[in-house]
Homo-oligomer: A and B are copies of this chain.
Amino acid sequence: MPETIALTSRIRLARNYEDIPFPPRMGEGMAQKVLDRTMQSLNGASGLGAAHMVRMAELSQSAREELVEQHRISPELSRKDDGALVELMQGSVYVMVNEEDHLRIQAILPGLSLGEALDLANRTDDALEKGGYAFDDRYGYLTACPTNAGTGMRASVMLHLPALTLLSQIGPIIRTVSRIGLTVRGIYGEGSQANGNMYQLSNQVTLGRNESEIVHALDEAALQVMQREREARASMLDRNALGTEDRLLRSYGILCNARRMTLREFMQRISDLRLAMDLGFVEVDPKTLDDLMLEAQPAAILRREGKPLSDEEQNAKRADLVRAALEAVG
């Protein structure tokens, strides 16, 4: 069975053009200049595929929120009318333009594939470099916030860790990885239980180490955390296989039959279902789950409905979406 502990790998590069003030200090018309130069470089590059650009100003508030839910843009970009998003490489690469920095190049791939993601980001970076980057021999790439200077790179892996969460072992892991300059955060509502047992493992330091050193360290750490999760799953089954199967499949039964569901419950039950799939208790196409995870988020539901919904209505629509998705596959 295909195990899905590492959901996605992501590389983000922060870059700025040297002859234009950084976004926090940009004057009239400069955002457009950044965007024009960026599109010129991308359209002139070979091997990146067609570049699709959308300006934040063209998007409704809920359309922007949906992009945030999809992790394509940051909440910060969603608030900037002069910001834009460029999609390349059939959705593997997204460039945020005029966020905190002129350019935030993001490469996202499924599974643990930081090296490949770095490669995609680098190819995009090479094309954009023609625009003339702000670069210092000593500090590396210069960024609006000094914590991003140096490589300007943030690498991260999104991990699904239900067994470690259940066995209360996330705390010790956070302490361990922080000693080697890495950090672990819950996603979708940091710190809350609404994160569906998903955690982002990423580097904290961007200065003083080169890209491949950072990626290598993160890759190693991710492999270790994944192994810990596997051990936690084995120990969970060892202690109570039937109880585990029962608990996870009840969640599946509820997903297939509920008529209303809060986001928090949805995230928890989808986590249960993902684990049930990993353990071979039930067969569902992982893509169905990944799609559903996006479609059932609040802004995605609002966009589909095309009108404001009360919480109750939203919960009902979510349950409908879930049933439709799982019936189509089950």
Contact = CB atoms under 8 A, between A and B. Distances in A.
Contacts of A256: 253, 256-257
Interface string A241-263: 01101100110111111111000
Nearest to A282: B257
Contact of A257 (B243, B249, B319): B249
A217 interface: no
Interface in A249-286: 249-250, 252-260
Contact of A254 (B242, B253, B319): B253
A266 to B, nearest CB: 13
A316 interface: yes
Contacts of A319: 246
Contacts of A257: 249-250, 252-253, 256
A257 B256 CA distance: 10
A243 B258 contact: no
Contact of A316 (B242, B258, B316): B242
A319 B243 CA distance: 12
Interface in A135-186: none
Contacts of A260: 242-243, 246
Contacts of A245: 259
A258 B247 CA distance: 7
> Which of A249, A312, A316, A319 is most buried by chain B, counting CB atoms within 10 A of its CB?
A249
A249 B242 contact: no
Contacts of A254: 250, 253-254
Contacts of A249: 257-259
Contacts of A252: 253, 257
A277 B275 CA distance: 32
A309 to B, nearest CB: 13
A254 B319 CA distance: 16
A151 to B, nearest CB: 48
Contacts of A258: 246, 249-250, 253
A200 B289 CA distance: 47
A182 to B, nearest CB: 38
A326 to B, nearest CB: 10
Nearest to A313: B242
A312 B253 CA distance: 21
Q: Which has the most chain B C-beta neighbours within 10 Å: A243, A256, A257, A319? A: A257
Nearest to A260: B246
Nearest to A257: B253
A254 B254 CA distance: 6
Interface string A77-115: 000000000000000000000000000000000000000
Interface of A: 242-243, 245-246, 249-250, 252-260, 312, 316, 319
10 contacts: A242-B260, A246-B260, A249-B258, A250-B254, A250-B257, A252-B253, A253-B255, A253-B257, A254-B254, A256-B256
Given A249-B257, A253-B255, 4 more contacts: A249-B258, A250-B257, A253-B256, A253-B258
Identify the 6 closest CB pairs spanning chains A and B, nearest first: A253-B253, A253-B257, A246-B259, A249-B257, A245-B259, A246-B260
